[in-house]
Amino acid sequence: MGAGGGANLLALRTHNAALVLDLLRTAGTEGISRLELAERTGLTPQAVSKITARLREDGLAAEAGRRASTGGKPRTVLRLVPEAGHALGVHLDRDELRAVLVDLEGTVVGERRTPLDLGAGAEAVVEGVAREAEALVTGILGPPGGSGADGAFARSPGGAVTAGVARPPGEPLPGASGRSSGDSAADGLASPSRGPLAGGASAALPGGPVPGAPAGSSGEVLSGTPIQGSGGSMSETRAQPSGGSLPGAPARSPGGGLLGVPTLLGLGVALPGPLDHGQGVLHRVTGFPEWDGFPLRDALARRLGIPVVVDKDTNAAALGLTVAGVGGSFAYLHLGTGLGAGLVIGGGVHRGARTGAGEFGHQVVQLDGPPCTCGARGCIEALCLGAVARGDLAEAARVLGAGAANLAGLLDIDLVLLGGRTVTAAPGAFVHGVGAVLDARARREGGHAGAVPVRVAPGGERAVAEGAAQLLLAPLFGRGEG
């Protein structure tokens, strides 16, 4: 078979395994039988049996009991094992870092929050992210090579821990590659416990191999450390470990990395744009043009030794919302230290040809208006943040509504969701104000459809961080590219 045919077969096998994994995830603790899996995926019972056997072997699935059958013996039902894999999500805002650790179901099991100066320089920011990630992960899962949960995404047959660099969109992510030549190819599920985490890549990372760190004891989450040269010492850490608290352990030393932490899939990082999602390279981040051209993905992958995916904060939040069940076509408008949009069209995040879609805040609505940090004048972001600074939330909501109405007219979306710290501080004012502008637009247009509904997005202030973790998890379940 030619290379093209082999690639197509691999994609089909991966797709089938992802279908089964996603149904196990959505079934919850009640589980789902193999017969139901076959009926809902359209796969043959034999194919489902092979896929589920491999999932159980790798620790991703387990029996959830038996269910009465209309004839014959009771059916065994299976469930996903949430603790078999974990992903880190980091929201890099202009003045704050928030990190979460989630399991395969997307449940947050640990969280850290600390001040951040995005203008402190690449070295300081990268090291700050690495330090917070290491403290969070080792506090919950244990250090590299430690005796943490024996999950599916841990080791190769010889015991060596393997990892890889996060792939661009369209390439396999953790758990999405084919098998080694000695394995059966029938079920189509990559076996991370028998090979690399990310798409079959070796442990070599940009700049060379990253060595594993020595084993140590598990530890509880430590306090966050400010990532800036000066300023307040605010720091907050919350952990929700399952199965009780863990004994304390010393913090990891800088440069230790996370290569070899059992069950850790990788890190998703979400921050203001513009940026190149496919390459993980930043452009002239609004207000911080010095980031232009910096390869953030590769820098963090080299420093931590794990797969990394980088995306805009609004896209990450939008992805998280789709995984949580928000369907159709919608816009997620994020108002915090800046203003941006995550666009979901037909159920998938729309990033555009150059992954630059969603620069919603920089549409000019007032010629010769106030200057914006992007270099233009009269941008919605400048007008909206200016109104917030004056304490005029009604005006801020009206300006935001004007932008939302433009978006609704251009894309004919089903729903507008509002998020970000400014919205969560006064949700009623923004829902009412944005909704009033959309209502007025609907009355001008006539028809019977009515205005596009406006709601506050679920997830609160950690929606972006949780969405960043989904940059790693969602592809594993066939729920869109990371």
- Encode pLDDT of 29-81 as tens digits: 999 999 999 999 999 999 999 999 999 998 999 999 888 776 667 889 999 99
Check if the beta carbon of residue 267 is closer than 8 Å to that of residue 99: no
Three-class HEC string of 74-90:
CEEEEEECHHHCEEEEE
User: pLDDT tens digits for the chain (482 residues)?
Assistant: 343 334 455 566 688 999 999 999 999 999 999 999 999 999 999 999 999 999 999 899 999 988 877 666 788 999 999 999 999 999 999 999 999 999 999 999 999 999 999 999 999 999 999 999 999 999 999 988 765 444 444 433 222 223 333 333 333 333 333 333 333 333 433 333 333 233 322 222 223 333 233 233 333 333 455 555 433 333 344 444 333 322 222 233 344 599 999 899 999 999 999 999 999 999 999 889 999 999 999 999 999 999 999 999 999 999 999 999 999 999 999 999 999 999 999 999 999 999 999 999 999 999 999 999 999 999 999 999 999 999 999 999 999 999 999 999 999 999 999 999 999 999 999 999 999 999 999 999 887 778 999 999 999 999 999 999 999 999 999 987 65
- For tokens 């940090």, name the residue: 373
Question: What is the average pLDDT value for the chain, to the nearest integer?
Answer: 80
Q: What is the DSSP letter of 54?
A: H
The pLDDT score that the predictor gives to residue 448 is 72
Q: For residue range 326-382, list pLDDT tens digits in order.
A: 999 999 999 999 999 999 999 999 999 999 999 999 999 999 999 999 999 999 999
**CA-to-CA distance for 140 and 241, rounded, in angstroms?**
7
* Sequence-separated (6 or more) residues with CB below 8 Å from residue 389: none
> How many Cα atoms are found within 13 Å in the side-chain-facing hemisphere of 338?
27
Main-chain dihedrals φ then ψ at residue 326, nearest 5 degrees: -75, 120
Residue 313: strand, helix, or coil: helix
Which secondary-structure segment (H or E) carries 60? none
The pLDDT score that the predictor gives to residue 183 is 37
The pLDDT score that the predictor gives to residue 171 is 38
Check if the beta carbon of residue 173 is closer than 8 Å to that of residue 476: yes
By DSSP bridging, strand 275-276 and strand 281-282 are: antiparallel
User: Measured at the alpha carbon of residue 336, what is the angle toward residues 330 and 342, in degrees to the nearest 5?
Assistant: 25
